Amino acid sequence: MRFQLRDQAGASRSVAYLLMGAGPFMFITGVVLPDNRTVTGVSVFAVLTVVLGLGGAICRWRPERVPTVMWLLAPYLGIALVTTLNLATTDASTGAQFFYLWPVLYAANFLSRIANYLVLTLVSAGNAAVVFPIEGANRGLSDWASLTVAMILTAIVVNSLRLRNDRLRDVLETQAYADPLTGVANRRSFDGELARAVAWANRGNESIALLTIDIDYFKKINDTWGHGVGDMALQAVADALRTVARREDDVVGRLGGDEFVVLLRTDRMGARRAADDLRAAVAQIDSLPSGPPGLSIGVAVLPDHAGTAVELGTASDAALYQAKQGGRGRTAMAHPPTPLPVSR
Reported as a single tens digit per residue, the pLDDT across 13-44 is 999 988 888 888 778 877 887 777 788 878 88
The more confident residue out of 101 and 336 is 101
Which of the residues 223, 258, 286, 304 is marked catalytic? 258
Amino acid at 9: A
Main-chain phi, psi angles of 289, to 5 degrees: -65, -25
Pairing status of strand 208-215 against strand 295-302: antiparallel
Q: Mean pLDDT over residues 207-227, rounded?
A: 94
Residue 267 a catalytic site member: no
DSSP string, 109-157: HHS-HHHHHHHHHHHHHHHHHHHHHHH-HHHHHHHHHHHHHHHHHHHHH
Other CB atoms within 10 A of residue 295 CB: 25
Whether residue 169 has pLDDT greater than 70: yes
Main-chain phi, psi angles of 298, to 5 degrees: -110, 135
Pairing status of strand 295-302 against strand 331-333: parallel
* pLDDT at res. 155: 93
CA–CA distance, 132 with 127 (Å, rounded to integer)? 8
Q: Answer whether the bond into residue 303 is a cis peptide, omega within 30°.
A: yes
Whether residue 95 has pLDDT greater than 80: yes
Amino acid at 72: L
Three-state secondary-structure class, residue 340? coil
The more confident residue out of 259 and 169 is 259
Query: 71, exposed or middle or buried, with CB in 10 Å at 0-12, 13-18, 19+?
Result: buried
Task: Give the CA radius of gyration of the chain.
Answer: 31
Other CB atoms within 10 A of residue 276 CB: 13
Three-state secondary-structure class, residue 14? helix
Nearest alpha carbon to residue 255 among 268, 241, 266? 241
DSSP 287: S
State what percent of residues in the chain have pLDDT above 70. 96
Three-state secondary-structure class, residue 51? helix
Q: Mean pLDDT over residues 208-226, rounded?
A: 94
Domains plus CATH for the chain?
8-176 (no CATH), 187-333 (3.30.70.270)
Whole-prediction pTM value?
Answer: 0.61
DSSP 216: T
Reported as a single tens digit per residue, the pLDDT across 46-59 is 888 898 889 989 99
DSSP 2: -
* pLDDT at res. 299: 96
